[in-house]
A = this chain, B = another copy of it.
Amino acid sequence: MKIAIAQLNYLIGDFEGNVQKMLSYAQTAKENGADIVVFGELAICGYPPRDFLEFNDFIRRVEESIEVLTAAAQGIAIVVGAPSVNLIPEGKDLYNSVYFLADGEVKHLQHKALLPTYDVFDEYRYFEPATEFETLEYMGKRIALTVCEDIWDIEEENPLYTVRPLDVLINEKPDFIINVSASPFNYRHAEDRIDIVKANVAKYGLTMFYSNHVGAQTELIFDGGSLVVSPNGVVHREMPYFMESMEIFDLDQVDAGKTASLQPKDDISEIHDALILGIQDYFGKLGFKKAILGLSGGIDSAVTAVLAQRALGKENVRVLLMPSQFSSDHSVNDARDLAENLGIKYDIIPIKDVYDGFMGKLGEHFEGLPFNVTEENIQARVRGTLLMAFSNKFGNILLNTSNKSEMAVGYGTLYGDLAGGISVLGDVYKTQVFALARYMNKDGEVIPENSITKPPSAELRPDQKDSDSLPDYDVLDEILFEYIEHQKGPSEIVAMGHDEALVARILKMVNRNEFKRHQTAPVLRVSSKAFGMGRRLPIVGKYLS
């Protein structure tokens, strides 16, 4: 028996496009001798469809799409995920299901039992968990179908769920396991996935075919890396990352347990590739081609510009250099050098006149009051307004360039440098931004060395430096990481060796600036805990604030 895994890039709600793509891959698989082709979780409608699932019209279109695929399942079986209607009166109205379509009919329908409802996942919002589990027989083989999280709750000590589908399915003595997934990228998650699939194979002693999505859906980036693991526990195949791909596997060969070498893993290169895919799909799926951003001469906008150029092509990236009276000469020079290195169009628009225009209007109202964050913010908002004017006039989407460290502590101006359609670096700590810059320069200088080595500064007042009011980024990022990614409290972080007053001050800054993050663009997610839909905190509250 030959099984094809197709890791594809779907568009949420684009039933026609998704189905056509699957039909085309199924045809290719059939022509190449596959008996079964496996797509991803909720592939019919794309993942995550979110509240579209609450529209009967949306579910009707899912069902029409399933009918089309069912009719096409001739000479090849199609395994595909889709929402399905719960016919039992009790419980949520939908299941998250995997269909097994063959000989022009629905041969089997298995619902998902383990519904991730944490971080970016909201599945119990929509779906009833399965309570019944059955294998199916096809071409003389007995097959266990599972959906994503169904195989993840394997740890014995503190499991998140009270049921485990494979513990039931294994009683029917299946020959192998298929898992259809939609498992988003983070820079450690490929290892997690390999570990989990291997743990299941070790426990149940069966081959597993694991099919993931690829492609970005707003902030979530699916990285592919579908897996085939042999019963002896070795990874038979780790499919490519960050690209669509289909491969066909011979079950006998997989069962024989030939070892394959795993792809090397590296946080920074993975983040680099993920962000490029994230930008590409945000633009492509919205029907846009062109980006604009402000280049300050600093490292964040430099790294964002490089990613944009690599994602969209140099002809589709335009930058504005908008020095103020507080900008240093080298900032403009560094920005210009970068634009020239990248071959992207740049314009220099000094903002002093417009800033002075605002201050002229405000002078009488602000009389006697000192220069403060107000005037800093006006500069940032003048830049934001200029960038948005280009965005509106020419149809370029504005890229936000804020990094995770500054978004965490609230260093950024709402409606100013926090503007933009998508946040490229909002899940990348400043220390990781430096590493990305070094990685980008590994084959020759793209980002001017000076942008990397000079002390970070917002340049919104004379001689300003980030270090005036923040600790070194090494220290800051460690504290932020423990608080954000690990949900550590102040005493736990202090116990790791950090200064108590500093920890209190940083956590307070994080909590008090929730209101800013609420109003910023979706953040391309590369870590296990990104700002946005996966991190939900009250704006009004009094905890560590």
- CB-nearest residue of chain B relative to A164? B90
Determine the chain B residues whose CB is within 8 A of the CB of A357 once the complex forms.
353-354, 357
Determine the chain B residues whose CB is within 8 A of the CB of A60 once the complex forms.
489
Q: Are B122 and A52 in contact (CB under 8 A)?
A: no
Judged by a CB distance under 8 angstroms, whether A402 is at the interface is no
Q: Are B92 and A160 in contact (CB under 8 A)?
A: yes
Interface pick from A105-113, A380-388, A453-461, A471-479? A380-388
Selected A-B contacts with CB under 8 Å, 8 pairs: A56-B492, A57-B490, A89-B157, A353-B361, A366-B393, A369-B393, A373-B392, A518-B522
Given A14-B542, A218-B539, A538-B218, A388 contacting B393 (CB threshold 8 A) = no
The B-contacting residues of A in range 272-289, CB under 8 angstroms, are 281-282, 285-286
Judged by a CB distance under 8 angstroms, whether A138 is at the interface is no
Q: Are A50 and B385 in contact (CB under 8 A)?
A: no
Judged by a CB distance under 8 angstroms, whether A343 is at the interface is no
Known: A353-B357, A369-B393, A415-B415. 4 other contacts (CB 8 A): A117-B117, A358-B386, A361-B386, A519-B520
Q: Which of B52, B124, B365, B386 contacts A117 (CB 8 A)?
A: B124
Q: Which of B54, B157, B286 contacts A487 (CB 8 A)?
A: B54
Q: Which of B12, B157, B388 contacts A541 (CB 8 A)?
A: B12
Q: Are A538 and B217 in contact (CB under 8 A)?
A: yes
The B-contacting residues of A in range 352-372, CB under 8 angstroms, are 353-354, 357-358, 360-362, 365-366, 369, 372
Judged by a CB distance under 8 angstroms, whether A260 is at the interface is no
The B-contacting residues of A in range 36-75, CB under 8 angstroms, are 46, 48-52, 54-58, 60
Given A157-B89, A162-B91, A46 contacting B541 (CB threshold 8 A) = yes
Determine the chain B residues whose CB is within 8 A of the CB of A347 once the complex forms.
365
Complex CA distance for A386 and B364, rounded to whole angstroms: 13
Given A372-B393, A536-B50, A538-B13, A385 contacting B388 (CB threshold 8 A) = no
Q: Are A540 and B492 in contact (CB under 8 A)?
A: no
Q: Are B285 and A540 in contact (CB under 8 A)?
A: yes
The B-contacting residues of A in range 76-93, CB under 8 angstroms, are 89-93
A414 to chain B, nearest CB (A): 7
Q: Are A91 and B487 in contact (CB under 8 A)?
A: no
A: contact size bracket: 35 or more
Judged by a CB distance under 8 angstroms, whether A378 is at the interface is yes
Determine the chain B residues whose CB is within 8 A of the CB of A262 once the complex forms.
none
Determine the chain B residues whose CB is within 8 A of the CB of A54 once the complex forms.
487
- Which of A17, A56, A415 lies at the interface centre, i.e. has the most chain B CB atoms within 10 A of its CB? A415
Judged by a CB distance under 8 angstroms, whether A535 is at the interface is yes
Determine the chain B residues whose CB is within 8 A of the CB of A125 once the complex forms.
117-118, 122, 536
Complex CA distance for A360 and B60, rounded to whole angstroms: 53
Determine the chain B residues whose CB is within 8 A of the CB of A538 once the complex forms.
12-13, 48-50, 52, 217-218
Q: Are A518 and B515 in contact (CB under 8 A)?
A: no
- CB-nearest residue of chain B relative to A49? B538
A395 to chain B, nearest CB (A): 10
Complex CA distance for A429 and B216, rounded to whole angstroms: 34
Complex CA distance for A388 and B372, rounded to whole angstroms: 13
Determine the chain B residues whose CB is within 8 A of the CB of A520 once the complex forms.
519
A230 to chain B, nearest CB (A): 30
Which 7 A-B pairs have CB atoms at the shortest separation, nearest pair first?
Answer: A57-B489, A13-B543, A415-B415, A12-B541, A357-B357, A14-B542, A374-B392
The B-contacting residues of A in range 488-526, CB under 8 angstroms, are 488-492, 515, 518-522
Judged by a CB distance under 8 angstroms, whether A24 is at the interface is no
Determine the chain B residues whose CB is within 8 A of the CB of A122 once the complex forms.
117, 122, 125, 536
Judged by a CB distance under 8 angstroms, whether A533 is at the interface is yes
Q: Mark A91-135, 1 if CB is under 8 A from B, else 0.
A: 111000000000000000000000001100010110000000000
Determine the chain B residues whose CB is within 8 A of the CB of A522 once the complex forms.
518, 539
Q: Which of B57, B385, B541 contacts A415 (CB 8 A)?
A: B385
Judged by a CB distance under 8 angstroms, whether A171 is at the interface is no
Q: Are A374 and B393 in contact (CB under 8 A)?
A: yes
Determine the chain B residues whose CB is within 8 A of the CB of A541 once the complex forms.
11-14, 46, 49, 52, 217, 285
- CB-nearest residue of chain B relative to A162? B90
- CB-nearest residue of chain B relative to A351? B361
Judged by a CB distance under 8 angstroms, whether A316 is at the interface is no
Q: Mark A404-438, 1 if CB is under 8 A from B, else 0.
A: 00000000001100010100000000000000000
Judged by a CB distance under 8 angstroms, whether A333 is at the interface is no
Q: Are B385 and A381 in contact (CB under 8 A)?
A: yes
Judged by a CB distance under 8 angstroms, whether A390 is at the interface is yes
Determine the chain B residues whose CB is within 8 A of the CB of A378 once the complex forms.
385, 389
Q: Are A56 and B542 in contact (CB under 8 A)?
A: no
A387 to chain B, nearest CB (A): 10
